[in-house]
């Protein structure tokens, strides 16, 4: 596995941390974690904070933060994918408790960063989901209705009309936006490096460039031996297919990101984003972005799916896939005409069937795992790291009582994705329907019945994913 490509902005000026004397691999330990990304590092951190006597080892095939944790869009969201469905089904008191838990993710990460002196350019200024055109405005209204039904108030998600949005963000075609304060932006690789240093100070042995070949009978199989552990924690997300036990349960899908050269103050006056809030639009294509601490505009969008759910990390910075992100970015921000794209990269995130994140504990096999975060892993991994620590320590807490937690589950109990070639064909059919719906949404010369038919078909295709 190669190192993180230099085309990634986060990695460009910040090489992976190294140790003069790598730790020796212990044959036995209390907890063995597979994956030194956010989920693995957060789990190790909270385990050692709660139970310092535990021996914890972390194994990674490359280096800490090689995968999605070191190359994402830098959104720290106070929420989980699919949370409206869970919240709607809870009793009122439990719903409020869960909402507070989710919203508290951002403050918890901020507290750890302060305690451990982690400087990761964190800016807690919320997120703007812009509606570009009437079709997206209707989608925003429907979404706000679902949010209200799930118990979210005006202080959590509110509508900004066109004039209110213009004060914060100048995006072409935007007629308004949904704003939420429950989001921050940060430098994801700096967060990885800070967590890595923190867990090492706590006595965790992190073994980089040490691939795990499989799990079984309380052991990790390595290329030159095995490690016995009371608890084994697969924490691989987009790389889950590397372990046979997770194959077909957490699938890799790609997302692609570009970043501009640093912009001048005058250019930022034309765009906005004072305070560095996150931003997106409400298309089906899933876009996202931020203003980085060094004044670049970062812009990302949904990528592809490789046959068999293969993870993909190396992208051609000059290739067509990333060039299309540049075209899309300039459609959002015509102010960037002539501005150079300095970095372009991509990576794989993990998606569970029905797009449902999970945390589970299998006491019989001694396995605890979490994943399926989709594009919300920066914050979700913190929540799940705390949850896994409590599950392994047998603690009955608000974290372990949440609806996404399977306190007595197994990896085998996780829903399988459909077999190939159905997964591949289904993904690309759904993606095509989404792209067509977005393309026709605000074209008045296209008959309304055609637009409505295409939108209804896209809704139906989206339903197949759940």
Instruction: Quote the mean pLDDT of the chain.
Output: 91
CA 95 to chain centre: 23
Best CA proximity match to 292, nearest among 63, 81, 13: 13
Angle, vertex CA 357, rays to CA 115 and CA 186, nearest 5: 35
Give dist(CA 281, CA 177) in Å, integer.
8
Architecture field, domain 9-72+188-250+354-413: 3-Layer(bba) Sandwich (3.50)
Best CA proximity match to 180, nearest among 268, 104, 277, 64: 277
Q: Which structure tokens are listed for 359?
A: 């945390």
Helix (H) or strand (E) holding 276: none
Question: In sequence order, what are the beta bridge partners of 207?
Answer: 59
Q: What is the pLDDT of residues 17-64, one digit of tens each?
A: 777 788 999 999 999 999 999 999 999 999 999 999 999 999 999 999
Sole residue written with tokens 């706590």: 202
To the nearest 10°, report the CA torsion of 432, 438, 441, 445: -70
Contact 62, 3 (CB under 8 A): yes
Percent of the chain's residues with pLDDT above 70: 93
Give dist(CA 226, CA 199) in Å, integer.
23
- Locate the domains of the chain by residue range: 9-72+188-250+354-413, 122-185+252-351, 422-463
Give dist(CA 52, CA 50) in Å, integer.
6
As a 3-state breakdown, the chain gives helix, strand, coil percent values, each rounded to 5, of: 40, 25, 40
Angle, vertex CA 123, rays to CA 139 and CA 110, nearest 5: 110
To the nearest 10°, report the CA torsion of 211, 213, 217, 219: -20
Q: What is the pLDDT of residues 198-245, one digit of tens each?
A: 999 999 999 999 999 999 889 999 998 999 999 999 999 988 888 877
Contact 271, 333 (CB under 8 A): yes
Report residue 1's pLDDT band, with 50, 70 and 90 as the boundaries. very low
**The predicted structure's pLDDT at residue 5:** 44
Domain 122-185+252-351 has CATH 3.30.9.10: yes
Give the phi and the psi of residue 102 in degrees, each rounded to 5.
-65, -45
Best CA proximity match to 437, nearest among 418, 453, 414: 453
**The predicted structure's pLDDT at residue 314:** 86
Q: What is the pLDDT of residues 132-183, one digit of tens each?
A: 999 999 999 999 999 998 899 999 999 999 999 999 999 999 999 999 999 9
Sole residue written with tokens 């020796």: 24
Q: Do domains 9-72+188-250+354-413 and 122-185+252-351 have the same CATH topology?
A: no
């Amino acid at each position: 596995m190669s190192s993180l490509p230099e085309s990634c902005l986060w990695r460009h000026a910040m090489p992976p941390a190294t140790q003069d004397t790598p730790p020796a691999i212990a044959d036995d330990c209390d907890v063995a974690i597979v994956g030194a990304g956010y989920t693995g590092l957060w789990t190790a951190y909270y385990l050692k904070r709660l139970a310092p006597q535990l021996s914890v080892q972390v194994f990674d095939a490359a280096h800490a933060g090689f995968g999605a944790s070191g190359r994402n869009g830098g959104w720290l969201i106070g929420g989980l994918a699919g949370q409206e469905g869970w919240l709607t089904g809870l009793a009122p008191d439990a719903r409020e408790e869960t909402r507070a838990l989710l919203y508290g993710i951002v403050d918890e990460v901020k507290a750890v960063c302060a305690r451990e002196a982690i400087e990761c350019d964190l800016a807690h200024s919320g997120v703007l989901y812009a509606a570009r055109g009437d079709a997206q405005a209707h989608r925003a209204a429907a979404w706000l209705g679902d949010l209200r039904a799930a118990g979210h108030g005006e202080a959590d998600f509110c509508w900004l009309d066109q004039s209110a949005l213009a004060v914060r963000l100048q995006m072409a075609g935007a007629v308004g936006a949904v704003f939420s304060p429950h989001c921050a932006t940060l430098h994801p690789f700096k967060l990885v490096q800070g967590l890595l240093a923190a867990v090492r100070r706590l006595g965790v042995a992190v073994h980089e460039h040490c691939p795990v070949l499989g799990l079984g009978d309380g052991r990790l199989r390595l290329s030159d031996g095995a490690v016995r552990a009371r608890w084994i924690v697969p924490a691989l997300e987009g790389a889950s297919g590397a372990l046979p036990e997770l194959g077909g349960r957490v699938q890799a899908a790609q997302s692609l990101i570009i970043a501009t050269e640093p912009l001048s103050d005058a250019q930022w006056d034309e765009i906005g984003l004072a305070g560095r809030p996150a931003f997106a639009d409400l298309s089906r294509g899933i876009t996202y972005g931020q203003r980085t601490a060094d004044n670049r505009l970062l812009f990302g969008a949904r990528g592809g799916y490789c046959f068999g759910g293969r993870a993909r990390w190396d992208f051609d910075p000059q290739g067509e896939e990333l060039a299309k992100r540049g075209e899309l970015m300039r459609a959002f921000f015509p102010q960037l005409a002539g501005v150079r794209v300095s970095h372009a990269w991509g990576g794989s995130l993990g998606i569970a069937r029905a797009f449902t994140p999970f945390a589970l504990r299998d006491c019989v096999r001694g396995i605890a795992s979490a994943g399926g975060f989709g594009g919300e892993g920066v914050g979700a991994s913190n929540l799940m790291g705390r949850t896994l620590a409590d599950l392994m320590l047998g603690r009955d807490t608000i974290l372990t009582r949440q609806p996404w937690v399977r306190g007595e589950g197994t990896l085998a109990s996780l829903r399988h994705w459909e077999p190939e070639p159905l997964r591949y064909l289904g993904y690309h059919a759904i993606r095509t329907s989404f792209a067509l719906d977005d393309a026709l949404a605000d074209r008045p010369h296209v008959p309304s019945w055609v637009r409505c038919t295409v939108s209804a078909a896209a809704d139906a295709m989206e339903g197949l994913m759940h």
